[in-house]
Amino acid sequence: MIRGSIVALITPMHKNGEVDYQTLEKLVEFHVQAGTDGIVAVGTTGESATLPVDEHVKVVETVVKTANNRVKVIAGNGANSTSEAVELTLRMSQLSGIDAFLCVTPYYNKPSQRGLIKHFEAIANSSHIPQILYNVPGRTAVDMLPPAVAELSQHDKIIGIKEATGSIDRLHEIKALVSDDFSLLSGDDETSLAFLQAGGHGVISVTANVAPSEVSNICELIKQDKYDEAKVIDEKILILHQKLFVESNPVPVKWALFRMGLIPECIFRLPLLEPEPNSKLVIEQALQQSGFIHA
């Protein structure tokens, strides 16, 4: 089962827009040493939308090689075209060391529930590597409902879901319909503690880019039924859960890592740009308040 603290890793870039592979390797090592259980490479936070296939595969390959089986590696393989997602899946399936794929619901074209099921089945059928579903209606404009998740959970290659609605009721609905070994992962940092307390198995976290030890400790404490101790840590980083989304992800978290000195440059590919001045101030104040940088 995939569980615990899984970071939705950013993709560092140089000023010319090329991927900074040296810094990428350093970030992977940073997370291994901090106790992170798994790394999502080239998900939404990794700017998957602007990385062409060859580059996408190279970033995942770099993460896999650097991780060297010390943590789980989950590769983003989503697309709004089923054939494109299958192509990406086939390319990455040739790499050794990927533990699972993370496949987002198709964005923009708003398929039906039946269309979603057929989409994910086609992708799962294309590879020997397990698939994790990813439901984030706030960004894709389509919501995969619990009955569809339940049907897909019967596929032997579909092993879990990243559920990013932020609804604990939704977690309960899905949990009642799937087997106990189906991984239930929060995709919403602000509600992740409640998600874990309600029976979730882990979190795929943006905040973990900044606070990997804290998110890892929360997951471990919940596993030990130490809810009060976990809440203390979560309250410390609650402002990060909130302010790292002051603009569209991954813009704020990349700026945060730049201000912390974990990446040398805060570079994006269009249409993303670095945060607006007021947003930078909000992010830096959140980092100061939570103790990750000094004033």
Q: What is the pTM of this model?
A: 0.96
The three-state DSSP-derived secondary structure of 253-281 is HHHHHHHCCCCCCCCCCCCCCCCCHHHHH
Known binding-site positions for pyruvate:
45, 204
One of 134, 243, 254, 280 is an active-site residue; which one?
Answer: 134
Secondary structure class of 98 (helix, strand, coil): coil
Q: What is the pLDDT of residues 144-163, one digit of tens each?
A: 999 999 999 999 999 999 99
Q: What is the pLDDT of residues 174-220, one digit of tens each?
A: 999 999 999 999 999 999 999 999 999 999 999 999 999 999 999 99
Query: Would residue 157 show up in a list of annotated catalytic residues for this protein?
Result: no
Residue 157 makes CB contacts below 8 A (sequence gap 6+) with 124, 125, 127, 128, 129, 130, 131
Task: Calculate the dihedral angle through the C-alpha atoms of 50, 51, 52, 54, rounding to the nearest 10 degrees.
Answer: 180
Domain ranges of the chain: 4-233
Query: Would residue 65 show up in a list of annotated catalytic residues for this protein?
Result: no
Question: Would you say residue 295 has pLDDT above 80?
Answer: no
CATH topology of domain 4-233: TIM Barrel (3.20.20)
CA–CA separation, 275 and 183 (whole Å): 34
Evaluate whether 209 touches 47 at the Cβ level (below 8 Å): no
One of 72, 157, 162, 280 is an active-site residue; which one?
Answer: 162
What six digits make up the tokens of 150? 């339940």
Q: What pLDDT does residue 294 have?
A: 87
